[in-house]
Amino acid sequence: MTNNGHTVLVKMSYNEDEIPSVRGGPLAEKTPLGYQFEQFHFHWGENDTIGSEDLINNRAYPAELHVVLRNLEYPDFASALDKDHGIAVMAFFFQVGDKSTGGYEGFTNLLSQIDRKGKSVNMTNPLPLGEYISKSVESYFSYTGSLTTPPCSEEVTWIDFTTPIDITEKQLNAFRLLTANDDHLKNNFRPIQPLNDRTLYKNYIEIPIHNMGSIPLVDAENAAGKWRAQAAAVLLPLVVLAALSRTSIFRGF
């Protein structure tokens, strides 16, 4: 994990056959191959009323997690960046509570070691990627937009999950204490953008759920026919492959 002066950026190493990947839902018509995990990073505000880059029912959240994925039609992240639908981002919002979700206690304890721009630290006791995202991935919005950080590529598929991640005030403040260029690294979110002519999709179809670890899998084969039969403004719940919850995601750090 690295303080790059813009955010906390986390990259991970895997065996080739264990890299987390995502397919189905709003990604199904982009490629049959699915999308593969590349990195995740965070955006946050100086107080609990701002920080997220999108609103849900006109509500802003104090922080937002972006899990960045690469279209498997392209061999690497650089070649996917300038392609239509070469990149997808799964966005998760944070809400302040008395307890945190999954692995954020240990994660935020490390932030003091990357308090300045350019500093990095390796996690010695990594947790699966599923410990850092919402416990529910069944409800979401999706739209086509752009990356909110350089190079701000267009035609990116965004998937905004509506179930927040819990984080404590102390843990959130650990992000706010980070610095970049002799100033605190905060309010590192892009202002809310107008919808313009974009179509915003919301899923609501109920399909069979198979529990595996902390992240559910959906019956994509049976659901595919329902997806094609529904109106264009309806999406199937996202299919998250088993590797997302089973694999130790910081292997090799």
Domains recognised in the chain with CATH numbers: 2-246 (3.10.200.10)
Given the DSSP bridges, would you call strands 156-167 and 87-96 parallel, antiparallel or unpaired? parallel
pLDDT confidence of residue 132: 92
pLDDT confidence of residue 144: 86
Which has more confidence, 75 or 226?
A: 75
Q: Give the range among 25-34, 43-52, 85-94 with minimum mean pLDDT.
A: 25-34
Does the structure show a pLDDT above 80 at 242? no
Mean local confidence (pLDDT), 61-76:
95
Which has more confidence, 229 or 120?
A: 120
Which has more confidence, 137 or 91?
A: 91
Q: Give the range among 73-77, 171-175, 246-250 with minimum mean pLDDT.
A: 246-250
Q: Which residues are catalytic?
A: 6
Decide: pTM greater than 0.75: yes
pLDDT confidence of residue 110: 96
Does the structure show a pLDDT above 90 at 41? yes
The answer to whether 44 and 175 are in contact (CB under 8 A) is yes
Mean local confidence (pLDDT), 124-132:
82
Which has more confidence, 100 or 125?
A: 100
pLDDT confidence of residue 40: 95
For the stretch 146-176, pLDDT in tens is: 666 556 556 789 999 999 999 999 999 999 9
- Average pLDDT value over all residues in the chain: 79
Q: What is the CB-side half-sphere exposure of residue 165 using CA atoms within 13 A?
A: 27
Which has more confidence, 193 or 236?
A: 193
For the chain, what percentages of helix, strand and coil (3-state, to nearest 5) are there?
Answer: 20, 30, 55
Does the structure show a pLDDT above 50 at 227? no
Do you find a cis peptide bond into 151, omega within 30 degrees of 0? yes
Mean local confidence (pLDDT), 177-182:
90
pLDDT confidence of residue 204: 62
